[in-house]
């Protein structure tokens, strides 16, 4: 009777354990998405370890029996076991998947993506190859270098060559002020930079690019103090009340960009800017005539967008690339190596949009207005660093255009 009860209890325990295991496996499968938590997988190591234990077990028996018969043979066997090289575990850092698509978006962001496709505010009529054209990383770098022209509006460009603009644009070409540099850092404004302790590493670069109103004060340990270039969108220059007064904007080289209608030339864009930042630009130049302040030519974002569409697996948002992606391409033009911080999410990934604000939205990581998801795919494909660097530091490393041979 007691034996029967014990069998029943044992059977119940086994059933409970199996049920628990099934639930755990189901939950893990449900979690699968574009970007997984870090997993240190050591399957090969575990197999080797198990085989090693088996070998140790059998060898130890033979060693013990032989050692009683011949102590010298026993010592030889132990020595040979010690000489077996230890298998090192191979770490697999599962980070951003370079083949991500709209299927990886949450339903809310999928709906936004579809809405932007139908709106087509910038009258995009892409007629190039793709989508889904496959390039090797080397070929894609050459493709970007040859088809994306990073250049600034000059005083010879109409209507900036009229009396209305006389003396406002910088006289010197940006290449005389910026670069060529060796190692450069592009520092995103992502909330995941908080508590990163990357400030020292970032400041160790020859040049550092930051975005919009991202501060360094009070965040030095995480983002550093150096600012060589600040890339700003036209919305900030137009609407930010502190722009003309805040000393944040008095350091380094300033570049402003404004989206045009798809592939518009400068005169057409000037007649219909996304944000009419021109008056504030002039006001700033009057206040700070010695501050290098450039206007990015409006053709450049759409040249980059064309390549994003060409290589992406599907239609992307017909909106210009993000400031982050533009900044990466600008620095690839000026530097031999570009380290990009928290553009690809690290283990600190969060829905907090900015390290200096408490605003939550998953769109800041996955994209809504900008084709951010596809930009991250491109950066991951071009990355010459390790997945470990992405996971631990949020750092991707890209070569500058000057260093590649096409």
pLDDT at 179: 82
pLDDT band at 359 (very low <50, low <70, confident <90, very high): confident
CA 287 to chain centroid, in Å, comes to: 35
Burial 230-244 (b: 16+ CB within 10 A, else e): bbbbbebbbebeebe
Task: Indicate whether 334 pLDDT > 80.
Answer: yes
pLDDT at 87: 46
Q: State pLDDT tens for residues 110-129.
A: 999 999 999 999 999 999 99
Rounded mean pLDDT, 159-176 = 95
Rounded mean pLDDT, 346-371 = 91
In this prediction, what percent of the chain has a pLDDT beyond 90?
Answer: 73
pLDDT band at 343 (very low <50, low <70, confident <90, very high): very high
Give dist(CA 398, CA 129) in Å, integer: 25
Rounded mean pLDDT, 335-341 = 99
Q: State pLDDT tens for residues 210-249.
A: 999 999 999 999 999 999 999 999 999 999 889 999 999 9
Range of lowest pLDDT (87-101, 130-144, 219-233) = 87-101
Are 366 and 372 in contact, with CB atoms under 8 Å apart? yes
The 3-state DSSP class for residue 386 equals coil
Task: Indicate whether 50 pLDDT > 50.
Answer: no
- Average per-residue pLDDT for the chain: 85
How does DSSP classify residue 125? -
Q: State pLDDT tens for residues 194-206.
A: 999 999 999 999 9
Classify burial at 100, counting beta carbons within 10 Å of its beta carbon; exposed 0-12, middle 13-18, buried 19 or more. Answer: buried
Are 402 and 338 in contact, with CB atoms under 8 Å apart? no
Q: Strand pairing partners for 230?
A: 210, 254
Q: How many CB atoms lie within 10 A of CB 74?
A: 17
Q: Give, rounded to a whole angstrom, the gap between the first and last alpha carbons of the chain.
A: 82
Q: Is cis: bond before 307, omega within 30 of 0? A: no
Instruction: Return the higher-pLDDT residue of 173 and 39.
Output: 173
Longest dimension (CA), the chain: 106
Q: Which two tokens stand for residue 365?
A: 């990581």
pLDDT band at 384 (very low <50, low <70, confident <90, very high): very high
CA 257 to chain centroid, in Å, comes to: 20
Q: Which two tokens stand for residue 207?
A: 């040049």
pLDDT at 358: 87
Q: How many CB atoms lie within 10 A of CB 45?
A: 15
pLDDT at 36: 42
Task: Indicate whether 292 pLDDT > 80.
Answer: yes
Burial 254-271 (b: 16+ CB within 10 A, else e): bbbbbbbbbbbebeebbe
Rounded mean pLDDT, 81-94 = 53
Q: State pLDDT tens for residues 23-48.
A: 554 444 433 444 444 444 333 334 33
- Concatenating the DSSP letter of every residue in 264-313 gives --HHHHHHS-SS--HHHHHHHHHH-TTS-EEEB-THHHHHHHHHHHHHSS
- Identify the residue whose tokens are 């003309």: 244
Give dist(CA 355, CA 192) in Å, integer: 7
pLDDT at 218: 96
pLDDT at 91: 61
Write down the pTM of the prediction: 0.79
Closest CA relative to residue 321, chosen from 273, 361, 262: 262
pLDDT at 361: 87
Task: Indicate whether 75 pLDDT > 60.
Answer: no
Rounded mean pLDDT, 276-287 = 97
pLDDT band at 363 (very low <50, low <70, confident <90, very high): confident
Classify burial at 9, counting beta carbons within 10 Å of its beta carbon; exposed 0-12, middle 13-18, buried 19 or more. Answer: exposed
Instruction: Return the higher-pLDDT residue of 35 and 270.
Output: 270
């Amino acid at each position: 009777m007691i034996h029967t009860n014990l069998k029943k209890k044992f059977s119940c325990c086994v059933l409970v354990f199996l049920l628990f295991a099934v639930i755990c496996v189901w939950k893990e499968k449900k979690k699968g998405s574009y970007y997984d938590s870090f997993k240190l997988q050591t399957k090969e190591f575990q197999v080797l370890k198990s085989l090693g234990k088996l070998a140790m077990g059998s060898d130890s028996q033979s060693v013990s029996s032989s050692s009683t018969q011949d102590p010298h043979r026993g010592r030889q066997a132990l020595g040979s076991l010690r000489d077996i090289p230890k298998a090192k575990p191979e770490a697999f850092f599962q980070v951003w998947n370079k083949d991500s698509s709209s299927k990886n978006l949450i339903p809310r962001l999928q709906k936004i993506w579809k809405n932007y496709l139908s709106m087509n505010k910038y009258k995009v009529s892409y007629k190039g190859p793709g989508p889904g054209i496959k390039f090797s990383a080397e070929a894609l770098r050459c493709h970007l270098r040859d088809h994306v022209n990073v250049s600034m509006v000059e005083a010879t460009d109409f209507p900036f060559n009229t009396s209305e603009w006389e003396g406002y644009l910088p006289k010197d070409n940006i290449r005389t002020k910026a670069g060529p540099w060796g190692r450069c850092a592009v520092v995103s404004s992502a909330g995941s930079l908080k508590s990163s302790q990357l400030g020292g590493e970032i400041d160790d670069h020859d040049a550092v690019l930051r975005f919009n109103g991202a501060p360094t004060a009070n965040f030095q340990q995480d983002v550093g103090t150096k600012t060589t270039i600040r890339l700003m969108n036209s919305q900030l220059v137009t609407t930010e009340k502190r722009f003309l007064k805040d000393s944040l904007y008095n350091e380094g080289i300033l570049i402003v960009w404004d989206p045009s209608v798809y592939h518009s030339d400068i005169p057409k864009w000037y007649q219909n800017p996304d944000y009419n930042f021109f008056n504030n630009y002039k006001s700033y130049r009057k206040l700070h005539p010695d501050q290098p302040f450039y206007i990015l030519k409006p053709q450049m974002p759409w040249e980059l967008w064309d390549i994003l569409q060409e290589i992406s697996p599907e239609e992307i948002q017909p909106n210009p690339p993000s400031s982050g992606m533009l900044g990466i391409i600008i620095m690839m033009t000026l530097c031999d190596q570009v380290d990009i911080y928290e553009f690809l999410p690290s283990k600190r990934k969060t829905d907090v949009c900015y390290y200096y604000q408490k605003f939550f939205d998953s769109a800041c990581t996955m994209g809504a207005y900008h084709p951010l998801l596809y930009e991250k795919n491109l950066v991951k494909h071009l990355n010459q660093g390790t997945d470990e660097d992405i996971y631990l530091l949020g750092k991707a490393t890209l070569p500058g255009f000057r260093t590649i041979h096409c």
